[in-house]
Amino acid sequence: MRAVLASGGVALEDPAALRDGEAPVPQLRPRDVLVRVQAVSVNPVDTKVRSRMAADEPPRILGFDGVGTIEATGPDVRTLSVGERVWYAGDVTRPGSNAELQALDERIVGSAPTSLSDAEAAALPLTAITAWESLFDRLRLGPESKGTLLVLGAAGGVGSVLIQLARALTPRLRVIATASRPESGRWASEMGAHAVVDRHELVAQTRAAAPDGVDYIFSPHSQGNEQAYADLLRPFGHIVAIDDPDQIALGAFKRKAIAWHWEYMFTRSTFETADMAEQQEILRRVAELVDAGSLRSTATETIAGLGAESLRRAHELVLGGRMIGKAVVSR
């Protein structure tokens, strides 16, 4: 099959970093489905995985988000069928979606929303699962939850979905979003944020928007923000973080008994946890919200042609640090 092969130890602009090639058709495990991929999106994790590859490491197929049609199933598959149009966020331990065909465990694959195109749908799975697990698994929020949630990086892929989910499923929660530019501030407001503050004036503007402090913080950029978070959070507040900081000064949070939570959406698939099928259920719930008009796609850049040059462009957009929403590559 055709695939885009990623190599480490070279700059992204080097042709060897991402190149068109061939790979064996994946062999199915008992609970696997084989998907013919139609659209993918590029997330920061794609760029991080490639940057961490050693120069002498064999090339690998990246790509986590995907939308496509099931062509075959393993003998133990019970929840999905051949011909079904599906979406998923993938598994960091297995070959990815930057290929014609991909094998995935059925427990992390769901039926795609009918109201979105393949490209529109491909923007959502990884960020939606991350946002869902952050809000409802890590922070334990629900329909009756009250208080104030501060969302940093609100115009990014996860932040964009997290704001929408919070507004749809925790209607009593107030959402404050951070932005560094007028256009990202407008985007956060479109997603449903009650208020937008300047990231460069985080403490002062958040205090003005929430004089009594905030109860929850979503953090995609944690290192160096510890004291600001401690100042802004009320006693017994909560932080959920998704980044990879070299170190965290947790001592800043002891006096207020603030809880720190990590969110990593690949944990369930990496360790095949007993509740691994929860990700299929999350994808089902998100598809329902999309088709009901309660959640919109965050695709803002669609690049045609699922090949090395298209994916290189998408990687460049993500690495540029000014991306609003998601970059999608469609076959």
In this prediction, residue 70 carries a pLDDT of 98
The whole-angstrom separation of Cα 103 and Cα 36 is 9
In angstroms, how far is the first alpha carbon of the chain from the final one?
14
Contact 301, 324 (CB under 8 A): no
pLDDT tens-digit readout, 133-157: 999 999 999 999 999 999 999 999 9
Chain position carrying tokens 């995935």: 104
Residues of the chain with CATH 3.40.50.720: 127-262
Q: Which CATH superfamily includes the segment(s) 2-124+274-330?
A: Medium-chain alcohol dehydrogenases, catalytic domain (3.90.180.10)
Query: What pLDDT does residue 321 have?
Result: 87
Residue 183's H or E segment, with its range, is helix 182-191
Query: How distant, in Å, are the alpha carbons of 15, 62, 129 from that of 126?
Result: 27, 14, 5
Contact present, 79 and 108 (Cβ < 8 Å): no
Tokens in use for 36?
Answer: 């013919």
Give the residues of the chain that fall short of pLDDT 50. Answer: none
Q: Kindly report, as residue ranges, where domains of CATH 3.90.180.10 are found in the chain.
A: 2-124+274-330
Nearest-CA neighbor of 71 among 81, 63, 57? 81
CATH topology of domain 127-262: Rossmann fold (3.40.50)
> How far apart are the C-alpha atoms of 307 and 232, rounded to whole Å?
45
- DSSP letters, 276-318, are TTHHHHHHHHHHHHHHTTSS---EEEEEESSSHHHHHHHHHHH
Per-residue pLDDT at 140 = 98
In the chain, the amino acid numbered 112 is A
Q: Which residue has the tokens 């959406």?
A: 265
Backbone angles phi, psi at 44, to 5 degrees: -55, -30
